[in-house]
Amino acid sequence: MKHAPLALAGLLAVTLLSVTATAAVKTTPGQADQRFAQLEQLLPTPNTVRTASGAPGAQYWQQRADYRIKVTLDETRHRLKARQSITYMNRSPDTLSYIWLQLDQNIFKDDSISRRSEVAANSGTRRDSIGAGDSLSFAALRRHHAFEDRNYGYEIGPVRDAGGRVLRTTLNDTMLRIDLPQPLRPGTSIEINFDWESNIVDEAPIGARGGYEHFPDSNTYQYFLAQWFPRLVAYTDYTGWQHKQFLGRGEFTLEFGDYDIELTVPADHIVASTGVLQNPDAVLTAAQRARLKKAETAKSPVFIVTPQEALENEKTGTSQMRTWRFKAENVRDFAWASSRKYIWDAMGYRQNDAKQPFVMAMSFYPNEGEPIWSKYSTHAVIHTMEVYSRFSFPYPYPVAISVNSWERGGMEYPMITFNGYRPTRDEKSGKLTYSRNTKYGLIGVIIHEIGHIYFPMVVNSDERQWTWMDEGLNTFLEYIAELEWEENFPTFGDKTNVLDFITGYMQSQDQVPIMTNSDTIVQFGPNAYSKPAAALAVLREAVMGRELFDHAFREYSNRWKFKRPTPADFFRTMEDASGVDLDWFWRGWFYGTDYVDVSVGDIRAYQISSQDPETEFPLRRSEFAANWPESYSQRQNRAEGRQTRVDRYPELKDFYNENDPFVVNNKDRNQYKEFRDKLETWERTALDRAIKAGEHVHFVDFQNVGGLVTPLPLTLTFADGSTEEYQVPAEVWRYNAEKVTKLFIRKQRLVSVELDRNHLIADADKSNNITPRRIEQSRIELFKGRDSGRNQMLDALAELKGEPKSGEKTETKALPLQPAPPK
Ligand SMILES: [Zn+2]
């Protein structure tokens, strides 16, 4: 706390109160002022397809593709063989002379752009952490061998139209262009037919979103098939044919349609799939069907296939085949899983609104997933729907499925999700345990992947372009759902608050804005998942408040369900539906890489001077004494008993020895009277009221260290110990985004100002969040110095563990130590 220089004290009265927003503002072009510039400078121009309010326009359109596929799973060769038919409906206003298919499996070909453009650091599987410098992991080497051993990608036959005519095609990496015999006019459709085959990827070494998993102990398999068939490339109003090749990271841009899929698999397999099973009588036993019926109204998950039955089932095999037929309406993709290993449980979920579809929540998992899968999976599926529906719309499909498919992580498709995490069996003791990370990882990943059925499976954002639009929004809702699953849910490691988790990333180097194309993002996880989730948490709790935010977010979800939103549609809707100008927020959090760090600076406290010399001069005298203590030398002189000359010769004293500079005289009294007389009545009233109440005037400085403009949730603490919560909106930075001074006039003297006590704004450096500063307290551990270096003689004395291999030397011949020769 600084004190005002004495000479100023008398002038303080009213003049300083007018120094506010008009204080000198230095805005560097392209810097401070840009932080509040209109976002329209960056967003695409609104039109009749996408309006300025962020809603789909009167002329909104999207294409549609319906699929019929008959596919056979060859378990001995790990291979799919299919006959496929697509009906493509051109609902755009454009005439199309060609259409494109996306062939995602081609990413695994030796000559794919994806594989050839890998750099050393990402040549491992996506699960492998990247080593430092020149390094090669076991996983990367195994992956190299897996690609060497087998060919992947589609073997695709001639593409024919409905009349059987062969159409000309051109393959470009993961995309296939089909030239149409006649241009496809608006409002018309075309049917194409083709056969294809492909090897199923061995998922563990290669790292893919689908494939097969081998269980070496029982020599059994499970298959989970994703991006397994050629799909129509999206044609949109904003980019025409989506022409970014599949490089592995940027996910999918897809059209909605209906699916009729026949899956022919070994007869002892259980199949989990997008869609509704059409022939339960042909593929399920009477007991299984009865259990499914019971599950509809059950209060906890019911086994359709029990763990014991699954264990029995996986022991044998069969050469018989059986066809499961599924239909799915209005989905943008289709995935499935098949294995003789599956335990299957189910529990019905009746939504609040009786008009909404009844949902069967189901889980499929091998015994290797037990006991945590039967305990948590289906509950997590239903919990997700409960929470997400409150923030968006009722779950729109009749089934919601979680399949245990791999070690960690997960992947989402319409109605079905593939999720990791299993317990581990200790090799020696045979004991089954699972870590805290496995338990919460499992619940978390299921919430996350089921959540994706809302975003982007229904709110069909363009994942190839913008990862944050599905991952960010979804991680935000996942976070909310996890806090509602269990308090202190460890979503972000040991930190339960996403805002405490994200600060490290936001201060880091090598960052790109959230608004970056998926395939070029660095620090992918924090960029596209946690930072947008943190941004939305700040928006909801610190900027907009829950009521405005929740309404706007629901509005966005409902405007764009079963449609294709772009970032601008999200930004615009959130502002339009809430009446909150968020241009500064989108700029800072989504288009920039600044972080939040505001330092609470000086507090300067004043009381308003009455200018009455009778009261002010004595105050000045005591202030002067407090600020300027007597000279040390003078005090020492007195301590030594040294007398001054004036003490020794009192006749030297005069007027000035009797009157210090703070003595009131008539001139001062006259001046004061003159001052009072010149005041307007309202000025006198204001002054007298403040004096009577003893009002305190405080100037508090804030420095924007991180650069990102932010609201300032403050806790003001007063001399009597009382506190006041005071939220300064982010607009406080609109004239000067570097430094602001706030004025607080209060009846009580302010003793401290604290910023972000509740951790609401992701402020990165908490040490500068309070004035006066706190001394940080922690514990320090002592460390012991350690000898480094190898003692070869000692190492030679160690005993060999286990049996020596033949020819292995087990002893080192040490030369006898010679005593040092006498000098
Ligand atoms: Zn995700």
Count CB neighbours of 11 within 10 A: 12
Res 807: pLDDT: 65
Return the residue matching tokens 């935010």: 549
Q: How far does residue 339's CA lie from ligand 1's centre (Å)?
A: 25
Half-sphere exposure (Cβ direction) of 38: Cα atoms closer than 13 Å: 5
CA 393 – ligand 1 centroid, Å: 19
User: From the CA of 411, how far away is ligand 1's center (Å)?
Assistant: 7
CA 516 – ligand 1 centroid, Å: 17
| Residue 531 CA to ligand 1 centre (angstroms) | 14
Q: What distance in angstroms lies between residue 250's CA and the mean position of ligand 1's atoms?
A: 12
Ligand 1 centroid vs 502 CA: distance in angstroms? 17
What are the residues whose beta carbons fall under 8 Å from the beta carbon of 262, sequence distance 6 or more?
69, 70, 71, 323, 324, 325
Inter-CA distances, 557 with 5, 276, 570, 585, Å: 58, 25, 9, 20
Tell me the C-alpha distance between 288 and 295, whole Å: 10
Question: 372-391 and 546-560 are packed helices; what angle lies between their axes, rounded to 10 degrees?
Answer: 100
**Which residues of the chain register pLDDT less than 50?**
1-27, 29-30, 32, 126-127
> What is the rounded CA–CA span in Å between residue 127 and residue 224?
18
Q: What's the CA-to-centroid distance between 3 and ligand 1, angstroms? A: 55
CA pair distance 736, 732, nearest whole angstrom: 8
Q: Rounded to the nearest whole angstrom, what is the distance from the C-alpha of residue 445 to the centroid of ligand 1?
A: 9
Say how many Å lie between the CA of residue 467 and the centre of ligand 1. Answer: 9
Q: Say how many Å lie between the CA of residue 409 and the centre of ligand 1.
A: 9
Ligand 1 centroid from CA 253, angstroms: 15
Residues 321, 327, 332, 338, CA torsion sign? negative
Q: How far is the CA of 273 from the centre of ligand 1 (A)?
A: 19
Question: Shortest CA distance to 444 belongs to which of 421, 463, 423?
Answer: 421
Tell me how far the alpha carbon of residue 82 lies from the centroid of ligand 1, in angstroms.
29
Ligand 1 centre distance from Cα of residue 589 (Å): 20
Per the CB < 8 A criterion, the answer to whether 237 and 46 are in contact is no
- The strand pair at 154-156 and 257-266 is best described as unpaired
What's residue 818's pLDDT?
Answer: 61
187 alpha carbon – ligand 1 mean position (Å): 35
Measured in angstroms, how far is the CA atom of residue 22 from the centroid of ligand 1?
47
Residue 89 CA to ligand 1 centre (angstroms): 29
HEC sequence for 623-637: HHHHHCCCCHHHHHH
As a whole number of angstroms, the distance between CA 352 and CA 385 comes to 11
Tell me how far the alpha carbon of residue 460 lies from the centroid of ligand 1, in angstroms.
14
Q: 466: which 2 tokens?
A: 């913008």
End-to-end CA distance of the chain: 73
- The pLDDT tens digits for 435-482 are 999 999 999 999 999 999 999 999 999 999 999 999 999 999 999 999
* Alpha carbon of 403 to ligand 1 centroid (Å): 15
Cα–Cα distance, 411 to 225 (Å, whole number)? 11
In whole angstroms, give the CA distance from residue 285 to residue 290: 9
Using CA atoms, how far residue 35 sits from 411, 505, 580, 741, in Å, is 37, 21, 16, 18
Q: How far is the CA of 280 from the centre of ligand 1 (A)?
A: 32
Omega cis (within 30) before 456 = yes
Residue with tokens 């809702």: 477
**Ligand 1 centroid from CA 518, angstroms:** 13
> What gap in Å lies between CA 548 and CA 554, rounded to an integer?
10
* CA 507 to ligand 1 center in whole angstroms: 24
Residue 483 Cα to ligand 1 midpoint, Å, equals 18
In angstroms, what is the span from residue 449 Cα to ligand 1's centroid? 6
Total residue length of the chain: 823
Non-local (6+) Cβ contacts of 382 within 8 A are 347, 349, 361, 400
Q: How far apart are CA 657 and CA 502, in angstroms?
A: 66
- 472 Cα to the center of ligand 1, angstroms: 8
Helices (H), 490-578: 498-507, 524-525, 531-538, 546-560, 567-576
CA distance 468 to 474: 9
Scanning the structure block, which residue is given the tokens 């011949």?
813
Q: Distance, CA 470 to ligand 1 centroid (Å)?
A: 7
Kindly give the distance from the C-alpha atom of residue 485 to the centroid of ligand 1, in angstroms, as a whole number. 19
**Residue matched to tokens 């999976």:** 377
Q: How many CB atoms lie within 10 A of CB 173?
A: 17
Distance between Cα 478 and ligand 1 center (Å): 10
Give the residue from 515, 479, 517, 520 showing the smallest Cα distance to 496. Answer: 479
* Nearest alpha-carbon partner for 587 in 424, 765, 730, 449: 730
How many whole angstroms from 213 Cα to the centroid of ligand 1? 21
Q: Name the residue among 685, 698, 608 with its Cα closest to residue 9.
A: 608
Q: Rounded to whole angstroms, how far apart are CA atoms 475 and 181?
A: 45
Give the burial string for 482-511 (b: 16+ CB within 10 Å, else e): bbebeeebbbbeeebbbbbbbbebbbeeeb
* C-alpha 464 – ligand 1 centre gap (Å): 13
Angle between the 531-538 and 498-507 helix axes, to the nearest 10 degrees?
A: 120
Q: Is the separation of the CB atoms in 702 and 742 below 8 Å?
A: yes
What's the gap in Å between 754 CA and the centre of ligand 1? 36
Taking residue 635's Cβ as centre, other Cβ atoms within 10 Å add up to: 11
Neighbours of 285 (CB within 10 A): 12
How far is it, in rounded angstroms, from Cα 419 to Cα 364? 10
What separation in Å is there between the alpha carbon of 448 and the centre of ligand 1?
6
Q: How many A from CA of 368 to the centre of ligand 1?
A: 24
Alpha carbon of 12 to ligand 1 centroid (Å): 59
Ligand 1 centre distance from Cα of residue 388 (Å): 15
| Residue 32: DSSP 8-state | G
Are 71 and 81 a contacting pair, CB within 8 Å?
A: yes
The Å distance, Cα 380 to ligand 1 centre, comes to 16
564 CA from centroid of ligand 1 (Å)? 18
CA 471 to ligand 1 centroid distance, Å = 5
Phi-psi region of 231 (alpha: psi -120 to 50; beta: other; left: phi over 0): beta
Distance 452 CA to ligand 1 centre (A): 7
Q: Which amino acid is at 233?
A: V
Measure 450 CA to ligand 1 centroid, in angstroms: 9
Spacing, Cα 571 to ligand 1 middle (Å): 21
Distance 474 CA to ligand 1 centre (A): 7
Omega within 30 of 0 (cis) for the link into 613: no
Pairing of the two strands 189-199 and 160-161: antiparallel
Give distance in angstroms: CA of 120 to centre of ligand 1: 25
Would you call 373 exposed, middle or buried from its count of C-beta atoms within 10 A (0-12, 13-18, 19+)? buried
- Quote the ligand 1 centre to 570 CA distance (angstroms): 18
Residue entry with tokens 């609201």: 711
441 CA from centroid of ligand 1 (Å): 13
Residue 251 CA to ligand 1 centre (angstroms): 10
